[in-house]
Amino acid sequence: MTDATIAHTGLDHRAPFRAATFGDALRSEWAKLRSLRSTFWALAVTVVLGVGLGAVISAAAAHGYARSSASGKLSWDPTSVSLDGMAIASLAIAVLGVLCISSEYSSGMIRTSLIAVPKRGRLLAAKSLVFAAVTFVAGEVTSFAAFFVGQALISGHAPHAALGDPGVARAVVGTGLLLTALAVLSVATGTLLRHPAAGIAAMIAVLFVLPGIAQALPASWQNPVTEFWPTLAGGQLTTVHHSAHTLQPWPGFGVMCLFVAIVYAFAWTLLDRRDA
Amino acid sequence: MIEAHGLVKRYGATMAVNDLSFSIRPGMVTGFLGPNGAGKTTTMRLILGLDAPTQGSVTVGGRSYRDLPAPMREVGALLDAKAVQGGRRARDHLLCLAHSNGIPRSRVDEVIRIVGLEGVARRRAKGFSLGMSQRLGIASALLGDPAVLIFDEPVNGLDPDGIHWARTLMRTLAAEGRTVLVSSHLMSEMALTADHLLVIGKGRLIADTSMDEFVRSSSQHSVHVRSPQAAELAARCREAGATVQAGSTSPLAAAPVVGTDAGTDPDVIEITEMDSAEVGKLAAAHGITLFELIPVRASLEEAFMELTRDSVEYQATGATR
């Protein structure tokens, strides 16, 4: 029925072609991310949780402010309160990041992808870069929205923050940056572990379980953990008020980035060496 | 042109591919044949750089696959039709692949037309039947209009009409001067599609031959004879250098009478290494009466099974309990 259709694509008539580039890989990964419904759901959850939960937490904290202790009032950080919802929103980004590579493994798509882009470092870089860029945009939008909504709810009940206050703009922008670092970490984790469930479990452990366990440790053990555990150290970028035994914002974020770089390097090496 | 030199792939203790060397030439369909587990898919994965060989090398157009500057423009491959993400629409799936090699959007619609998926191009791939998935996989292989095509069991799941279409497509692609490698575990399918055969078993190369040659050399001839003087004829034939077996294994021979076993019929013998004319002359020369004299030719399927008998990985034992 369609036998004749391909006749004109015979070898003699093939158009000259150019080499595939990193830009082509980027376009491909962008098209991949866009063409799955799960992307929209995960990003919608990120925005809704980030802004919605932040609003609820801000309203509750603002109403409790009058009754809080003197030390509680001293450490009052309206910026950080309004951005609290981002911790849960980051879970949606972590899940989506793990899935954007591990679902290729579970479906077998990774083989199709690696036949199309056999330079594996290029595939991973394109995937990470596209997802990081999407997360950066969604993260900044969410964190600015959460900040403004939160401050509007806090004002009148407790001292609120303005973008121009010292450290505030850095904390709001930093929240999107931390989310972006987390996005790269989750793509790398998905690449390392290849199974969606394992990757998501690992990300939950890194984000919530291990920091939670640290809370139960004696102070002499707890302090270095809260100071240097990558996600907690990175979290310093998102607060204005800093408690004892924490790194400064940018060095803290540096620790997070270093951790991401190490995991990424492992993922890159293993992806390159392992049979797909 | 695909060339392998001493290709070895070991997975733990399993030798999946063992010292394979071959070259697959353009302008013809090369059938890649072997029982299940023979190493066909592994070999294709090695060609496509998905797995790294333990030893040896394989190149496409003189380069290893990973070093091809525009892989999809040079090689089109269908390994596993179900290796797509089900949540993506068929056309989007092809578009993602096209982008990765700078292939224009118009070509996506072209290949959708070639494989006849126009009606379902906007449906999500998870709803596809195996046959539709095979067509989608063939479409992705054709995207880059490549000079080399590799298909792993492409007709699995296709209906008779689809099988005929796929066969014609492969022959057309080869006639255009492309290199076409198609794997199958069915000799009967290959007989209709391939010009050249690469047969492997247990990871080793068993045959690398043209289809005609394969048919000529491996079709066993034997002569089925029924005679009241079978014992005497058997003795004369053996003297003349032939091999004689009691009974008949040929399905072409007269069906055994109910209740008797053809293998124990003392009047029936099967003679190999001697053709029917010679048997007839020999019988005439010694005054032996013949009731039946039937030249028996093994089918290609049997020839293939005979060739790969020792290398079948998974063999049923016949008993069902």
What are the tens digits of pLDDT across the range B262-305? 446 788 898 888 888 889 999 999 999 999 998 877 667 777 77
Q: Is B214 exposed, middle or buried (0-12, 13-18, 19+ CB in 10 A)?
A: buried
DSSP B271-312: EESS-HHHHHHHHHHTT---SEEEEEE--HHHHHHHHHGGG-
> What distance lies between CA B95 and its chain's CA centroid?
32
Instruction: Answer yes or no: is A117 within a domain.
Output: yes
Query: Does B196 share its domain with B226?
Result: no
CB contact under 8 A, B72 and A275: no
CB contact under 8 A, A7 and B176: yes
Query: Does B32 share its domain with B106?
Result: yes
Instruction: Answer yes or no: is B307 within a domain.
Output: no
Residue A255 has pLDDT above 90, yes or no: yes
Pick from B77, B78, B60, B56: nearest CA to B10: B56
Boundary-marking domain end, from B217, B235, B258: B217
Cβ atoms of B45 and B229 within 8 Å: the answer is no
Query: Does B285 share its domain with B157?
Result: no
Three-state secondary-structure class, residue B316? coil
Instruction: Answer yes or no: is B101 within a domain.
Output: yes
Instruction: Answer yes or no: is B275 within a domain.
Output: yes
Instruction: Answer yes or no: is A5 within a domain.
Output: no
Q: What is the pLDDT of residues A81-118, one digit of tens each?
A: 999 999 888 999 999 999 999 999 999 999 999 999 99
What value does the mean pLDDT of chain B take? 88
Query: Does B113 share its domain with B158?
Result: yes
Show the tokens assigned to B145: 């209009």
pLDDT of residue B262: 47
Q: What is the pLDDT of residues B30-84, one digit of tens each?
A: 999 988 889 999 999 999 999 999 999 999 999 999 999 999 999 999 999 999 9
Q: pTM for the complete prediction?
A: 0.85
Query: Does B71 share its domain with B139?
Result: yes
Cβ atoms of B23 and B180 within 8 Å: the answer is no
Residue B207, domain extent: 2-217
Query: Does B202 share its domain with B228?
Result: no
Boundary-marking domain end, from B170, B189, B217: B217
Instruction: Answer yes or no: is B285 within a domain.
Output: yes
Average pLDDT over residues A219-239: 87
Residue B271 φ then ψ, to 5°: -115, 130
Residue A150, domain extent: 22-273
Q: Which is it for the CA torsion A100, A172, A231, A81, positive or negative?
A: negative
Task: Assign A2 a pLDDT band (cuts: 50, 70, 90).
Answer: very low
Chain pair A-B, CB pairs under 8 angstroms: 135
Instruction: Answer yes or no: is A2 within a domain.
Output: no
Query: Does B276 share its domain with B200?
Result: no
CATH of the domain at B46: 3.40.50.300
Instruction: Answer yes or no: is A71 within a domain.
Output: yes
Query: Does B177 share its domain with B254?
Result: no
pLDDT of residue A129: 98
CB contact under 8 A, A109 and B97: no
Which 169-228 residues of chain B touch chain A by CB within 8 A? 169, 172-173, 176-178
Instruction: Answer yes or no: is B206 within a domain.
Output: yes
Residue B150 φ then ψ, to 5°: -130, 120
Instruction: Answer yes or no: is B315 within a domain.
Output: no
Residue of A nearest to B167 (CA): A3
CATH of the domain at B287: 3.30.70
Cβ atoms of B172 and B112 within 8 Å: the answer is no
Beta-carbon neighbour count of residue B259 at 10 Å?
Answer: 5
Q: What is the pLDDT of residues B177-189, one digit of tens each?
A: 999 999 988 787 8
Q: How far is CA B59 from CA A273, B3, B24, B85, B111, in A?
A: 19, 5, 11, 29, 27
Q: Does B116 touch chain A (CB under 8 A)?
A: yes
Give the closest-approach CA distance of A60 to chain B in angstroms: 40
The domain total for chain B is 2
CB contact under 8 A, B97 and A112: yes
Instruction: Answer yes or no: is A1 within a domain.
Output: no
Q: What is the pLDDT of residues A50-73, one digit of tens each?
A: 999 999 999 999 999 988 888 888
Instruction: Answer yes or no: is B23 within a domain.
Output: yes
pLDDT of residue B316: 64
Which residue of A3, A6, A96 is the best one to mutate when testing the B interface, meaning the one whose CB has the most B CBs within 10 A? Answer: A6
The domain total for chain A is 1
Show the tokens assigned to B199: 């047969």
Query: Does B161 share its domain with B251?
Result: no
Query: Does B238 share its domain with B195?
Result: no
Instruction: Answer yes or no: is B305 within a domain.
Output: no
Query: Does B241 share its domain with B170?
Result: no
Show the tokens assigned to B285: 């020369």
Cβ atoms of A76 and A159 within 8 Å: the answer is yes
Query: Does B200 share its domain with B93?
Result: yes
Instruction: Answer yes or no: is A4 within a domain.
Output: no
